[in-house]
Amino acid sequence: MTGRETAFDGKKAFEHLEHLSVTIGPRLTGSPGEHEAARYIARTLKGFRLKVTQQRFPVVTFDNRKCTFEVRQGGRWRKVSAEPVMLSKSTPPRGVEGEIHYAEGGQAEYLTPAMAGKIVLVCGRVAAEDRRRLINFGAKALVGIDPVVREQHRRSLVGEENRRTYGSLPMATIRHLDGLDLVKGRARRGRLVLRNTERKSHSLNVIGELAGTDHADEIAVVCAHYDSHWRIPGACDNAAGTAVMMELARVLAGRPSRRTLRFIAFAAEETGLYGSTFYADKLARADRRDKKRASFDERVDKSECDRHRFTFNIDVHGGVLGRWLATYNGPEDVGASVRLLAKEIGMACEVEKKPMSSDGTPLAAVGVPNVQFARYGGTTSYGHGVGDDIRYLSADALAGAGDFAERWLSRYVTDAPAFAFPREVPEDQMKDIKEYFAKGKLPVPGDEPKKKKPTRRTKAGRKK
């Protein structure tokens, strides 16, 4: 594709992809599959003579024992194919039954007291703050119609912090055309049985480090997430991105790098960017602690967070058919560097300045610029569904991703006498990043946790 032989081997990357998505299979946050994948990645990175460490953090893992949705039409109950919204509230064992109330797209204008005691049907997603309105109005359950026409179900969940803040009720999803039939046929009554389970577990960020030669105090992160959604192989999203990262680790570990490289396989991305947020929060806490020390001189000293100069994140890759896309946060020169290299090697790559829903964004929130590199189109629409498997991916597509990443990293990180970009995320972009997390009802990585108000006690010793 580029007219130059590179050390990156698409076939080797494909072997990692196959092991993660086929041999291991589903890698849900906190599940045995995710833990097995962490061991495989750690073992592989050690084989490249990298210094390997792991960050362990608590998570909630989950499963579903039953999800059935039925509607009553023509005097009989008819099953409609449905998927659970994971981490939503379970129904009683026999389910909940009630009249169906269609609330259009689920916007606040359509959520009224008329929902009381009914199963609410919406086309799309109900905003978290509006979900509270459903609960207060006494809706029995929420069934979301996929707003996109597709053959397969798309997995969805309500985040742990989201449900803690805004509450929960039994929730499931159905396909667009099934929902169309229900609305067009004026289905009047429904019954939902939902048995979700959950338990406390842990996830692991796997880190392989190559120390720099000239500028060891400057750290560049090359990363990808290795977890998948519930009960799916997660081939393009994101075993493929992890495979590209692992093959880059083999290639770049075999040659000197002026800067320290950290190859990170982040866990728990699909449940809310938890792995990369944990990493970013840890950097921010240490940064605040270090800079409070009397001996710290900001003119000459650097915290570990300051030492992080850049993130190159790889998410959604391997599609035989697709298009290249890179988003970035940082100086305008970052976007220009991607455009120029792509043009130079004869590769069409769309470049956008915006936060991406992936692991580079939490690091950007603590001031680390990024490029987030992806390949979208065609079969990537199977992402978060059972169709995200290896059939639609190829070693050639992985080689294309690896070739570009290897060239970019060599030019601007490993071989550059001086770092090309200042360590900054401009104020307007930081605003966009914070809005991204606010929209997802997630705390902004790096922010200091709010202090709890102290409880006062009355003379009788009771809390007030």
- Domain residue ranges of the chain, discontinuous segments joined by +: 10-61+201-289+303-439, 64-197
Q: How many whole angstroms separate alpha carbon 379 and alpha carbon 39?
A: 29
DSSP string, 318-331: -BSS-EEEEEEES-
CATH class of 10-61+201-289+303-439: alpha beta
In the predicted structure, residue 406 carries a pLDDT above the cut 70: yes
pLDDT digits (tens, 9 = 90+) for 139-154: 999 999 999 999 889 9
pTM of the shown model: 0.93
Which segment of 173-182, 388-397, 443-452 scores lowest on mean pLDDT?
Answer: 443-452
Q: How many whole angstroms separate alpha carbon 139 and alpha carbon 132?
A: 10
Q: How many whole angstroms separate alpha carbon 253 and alpha carbon 362?
A: 26
Name 203's bridge partners.
57
pLDDT digits (tens, 9 = 90+) for 104-146: 999 999 999 999 999 999 999 999 999 999 999 999 999 999 9
**Phi/psi of residue 439, nearest 5 degrees:** -65, -35
The first and second tokens of residue 444, run together, are 């902004």
User: What SS3 class is residue 304?
Assistant: helix
Domain 64-197 adopts which CATH fold? Answer: Glucose Oxidase; domain 1 (3.50.30)
pLDDT digits (tens, 9 = 90+) for 337-354: 999 999 999 999 999 999
**Backbone conformation region of residue 128, classed left if phi is above 0, alpha if psi is from -120 to 50, else beta:** alpha
Closest CA relative to residue 220, chosen from 412, 417, 2? 412
Say how many CA atoms lie within 13 Å of 390 toward its Cβ: 18
Contact at 8 Å (CB) between 303 and 321?
Answer: no
Closest CA relative to residue 243, chosen from 8, 7, 17, 18? 17
Across the chain, which distance is largest between two alpha carbons, in Å? 82
Residue 454: the pLDDT is 57
Say how many CA atoms lie within 13 Å of 305 toward its Cβ: 23
